[in-house]
């Protein structure tokens, strides 16, 4: 496969070049559109809840850029022999309700038949061109704040293997259904240096994108909020394939000598509709935490800080 010849436009604020969470295109001196697309296979039994989670996951990239949601288009692939019209309607209603909660509207979409169920959204958001929040502009000394607990990868894998306790998958579903809208708004209002959402690359992968090769970080494992059951299923090695790939790709950048193997793999666990990872200067960290808590983001926690250890992350207990 040859190298892609990516067209240039002076209106592109964020494109392919820096692994940003979404693309940003300037449409005027005070306006830019933010675009992203994502879809997932089912992670819970209930069709409506699955629709909510898939939509929240798709919308998250807009919030990670510090933007607001305008419109969305449904993306649906389903097996008509096993997915009834009632089930499909419930999935779409879940998505529609989450888009409405985000402040946007669904304008339509596209549906195809497939052997495996998939649902997600193509989302368009809006932001001022000078207020785009990037994922790679953290600074040494910044405090790192996470807004949702980790563990959805191992918990949903346990669910798929009929190993997960009902209480654990229900609590995980509630976390995955929660929008990052309030957390994003609090971050933008406070003023932060960088922000991303924790999804398929896990905490470790998305933190590595945030620090790049010019910076590093130190994380305190015992400060990480974890979903109920996450350690239990991690100790059973019920990680999805994406978590294993994350460890192979990003593991060389992580010094985790204080952790056992179960704890280490939690860092790489591929998340679905995870929280935001925010880099904020130390003088604003308490203000941001207060703002997050006051807006209902109940799990926000400082988990470490950015440093100048180029390309490496140290994880302490």
**Domain boundaries, given as residue ranges, for the chain:** 12-131, 143-316
* Confidence at residue 3, expressed as pLDDT on a 0 to 100 scale: 80
Given strand 276-280, what is the order of strands in its sheet? 194-197, 276-280, 143-146, 301-307, 216-220, 313-316, 254-255
Q: What is the average pLDDT score of the chain?
A: 96
* Confidence at residue 18, expressed as pLDDT on a 0 to 100 scale: 75
* Confidence at residue 1, expressed as pLDDT on a 0 to 100 scale: 58
Q: Which two tokens stand for residue 48?
A: 């409506």
Q: Classify 216 as helix, strand or coil.
A: strand
Closest to 42 in 3D by CA, of 159, 141, 214: 159
* CATH topology for the 143-316 domain: Phosphoribosyl-aminoimidazole Synthetase; Chain A, domain 2 (3.90.650)
* Confidence at residue 204, expressed as pLDDT on a 0 to 100 scale: 97
Q: Classify 23 as helix, strand or coil.
A: strand
* Confidence at residue 311, expressed as pLDDT on a 0 to 100 scale: 85
Query: If you average pLDDT over residues 262-279, what whole number do you get?
Result: 98
What's the pTM? 0.95
Whether residue 87 is predicted with pLDDT greater than 90 in this model: the reply is yes
- For the four alpha carbons of 145, 149, 152 and 153, in that order, the dihedral sign comes to positive
Q: How far apart are CA 256 and CA 48, in angstroms?
A: 39
Burial state string for 165-176 with b = 16 or more CB within 10 A and e = fewer than 16: eeebbebbbebb
Closest to 227 in 3D by CA, of 284, 175, 151: 151
- What class, spelled out in words, does domain 12-131 have in CATH? alpha beta
* Confidence at residue 16, expressed as pLDDT on a 0 to 100 scale: 79
Q: Where are the beta strands (DSSP E) in 226-312?
A: 254-255, 276-280, 301-307
Q: Classify 260 as helix, strand or coil.
A: coil
Closest to 263 in 3D by CA, of 301, 198, 317, 208: 317
Query: Which DSSP string corresponds to 145-185?
Result: EE-S-B-HHHHHHHHHTT-S-HHHHHHHHHHHHS-SHHHHH
Choose between 57 and 212: higher pLDDT.
Answer: 57
* Confidence at residue 203, expressed as pLDDT on a 0 to 100 scale: 98
* Confidence at residue 2, expressed as pLDDT on a 0 to 100 scale: 74
Pairing of strands 31-40, 254-255: unpaired
Q: How far apart are CA 159 and CA 166, in angstroms?
A: 9
* Confidence at residue 116, expressed as pLDDT on a 0 to 100 scale: 94
Closest to 266 in 3D by CA, of 307, 297, 225, 211: 225
Query: If you average pLDDT over residues 164-180, what whole number do you get?
Result: 98
Whether residue 187 is predicted with pLDDT greater than 90 in this model: the reply is yes
18-53 confidence digits (pLDDT tens): 788 999 999 999 999 999 999 999 999 999 999 999
46-64 confidence digits (pLDDT tens): 999 999 999 999 999 999 9
Query: If you average pLDDT over residues 120-143, what whole number do you get?
Result: 97
Find where tokens 């807006």 sit.
295
Query: If you average pLDDT over residues 116-120, what whole number do you get?
Result: 97
């Amino acid at each position: 496969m040859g190298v892609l010849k990516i067209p240039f436009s002076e209106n592109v604020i964020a494109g392919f070049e820096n692994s940003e969470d979404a693309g940003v295109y300037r449409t005027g001196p005070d306006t830019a559109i933010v675009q992203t697309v994502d879809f997932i296979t089912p992670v819970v039994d209930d069709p409506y809840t699955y629709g909510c989670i898939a939509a929240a996951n798709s919308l998250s990239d807009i919030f990670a850029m510090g933007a607001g949601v305008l419109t969305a288009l449904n993306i649906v692939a389903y097996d008509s022999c096993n997915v009834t019209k009632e089930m499909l309607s419930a999935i779409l209603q879940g998505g529609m309700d989450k888009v409405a909660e985000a402040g946007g509207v669904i304008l339509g979409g596209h549906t195809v038949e497939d052997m495996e169920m998939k649902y997600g959204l193509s989302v368009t958001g809006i932001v001022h061109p000078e207020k785009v929040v990037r994922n790679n502009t953290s600074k040494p000394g910044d405090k790192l704040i996470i807004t949702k607990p980790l563990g959805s990868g191992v918990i949903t894998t346990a669910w798929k293997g009929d190993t997960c306790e009902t209480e654990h998958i229900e609590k995980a579903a509630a976390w995955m259904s929660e929008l990052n809208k309030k957390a994003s708004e609090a971050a933008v209002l406070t003023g932060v240096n960088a922000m991303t959402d924790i999804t398929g690359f896990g905490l470790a992968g998305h933190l590595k994108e945030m620090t790049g090769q010019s910076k590093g970080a130190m994380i305190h494992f015992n400060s990480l909020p974890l979903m109920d059951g996450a350690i239990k299923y991690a100790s059973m090695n019920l990680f999805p394939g994406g978590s294993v790939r994350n460890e192979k790709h990003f593991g060389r950048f992580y010094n985790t000598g204080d952790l056992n193997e179960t704890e280490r793999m939690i860092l790489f666990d591929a998340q679905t509709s995870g929280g935001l990872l925010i880099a904020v200067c130390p003088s604003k960290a308490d203000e941001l935490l207060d703002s997050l808590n006051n807006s209902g983001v109940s799990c926000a926690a400082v988990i470490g800080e950015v440093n100048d250890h180029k390309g490496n992350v140290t994880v302490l207990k």
